[in-house]
Amino acid sequence: MSKIKICGLYRPEDIQYANEVQPDYAGFIMNYPKSHRNVNVEMMRALKKHLDPEIKTVGVFVNENPNLVAAIAAMGIVDVIQLHGQEDDGYIEKLKERIGNPIIKAFQVHSPEDVRLAEASSADYILLDGGMGAGEVFDWSLLKGVNRPFFLAGGLKPENIREAIRDTDPFAIDISSGVETEKKKDLKKMREAVKAAHAR
């Protein structure tokens, strides 16, 4: 069993689906127009209003100005901050002085050195990913013996979640494209993903 974050919600229907299938975390790609999942602050505020408060919201940022991230955190619309760009420990420390929200730092993993770098992060959680929301699986054998709890991301789908949990024992599964059909969240796939992650 693992927790699960379903990432990249951006339509009102996505919120209804999340309320129905109850992931532990709901992720929102914020201020990143390169992604089709992009939401701005106003959209986020409107979506959050309808989300079950038991589901934690994660604001995902890519190399965003830390002052803006802190300002968004102060609005109370994100419970957790995810940093998915090249933000370093200096950036994270600066942010920690301004906000009390837990911080997840994402790392792309291609080698054992990438894993060591992630383990040393000053973030509250690390997220180990193959790409950037592009559905890329990486070599999970690199994760043997990781010394702290991690979110596992990258190319996960309902069909490979059980194998991923068995092989890597993550704190949480993080999934986005694997629960979409034609770039839109798919209720059936979301239900199957949550069931697979929460199965004992």
| Residue the block writes with tokens 């798919």 | 186
CB of 106 to ligand LGQLAAA5, least distance (A): 6
Contacts of 192 (CB under 8 A, 6+ apart): 158
Per-residue binding string, ligand LGQLAAA5, 142-181, x by CB under 6 A, is -----------xxxx-----------------xxxxx---
**Vertex 131: Cα angle to 37 and 88 (nearest 5):** 95
Contact 188, 17 (CB under 8 A): no
Q: Is 60 in the site for ligand LGQLAAA5 (CB under 6 A)?
A: yes
d(CA 170, CA 185): 23
- Closer of 66 and 155 to ligand LGQLAAA5 (Cβ): 155
Residue 23 binds ligand LGQLAAA5, judged by CB under 6 A: no
Nearer to ligand LGQLAAA5, 123 or 200 (CB): 123
Furthest C-alpha separation in the chain: 42
145 φ/ψ sector (left φ>0, alpha ψ -120 to 50, else beta): left
Catalytic residues: 7, 129
Residues that bind ligand LGQLAAA5 (CB under 6 A): 7-8, 27, 29, 32, 35, 37, 60, 62, 84, 127, 129, 132-133, 135, 153-156, 174-178
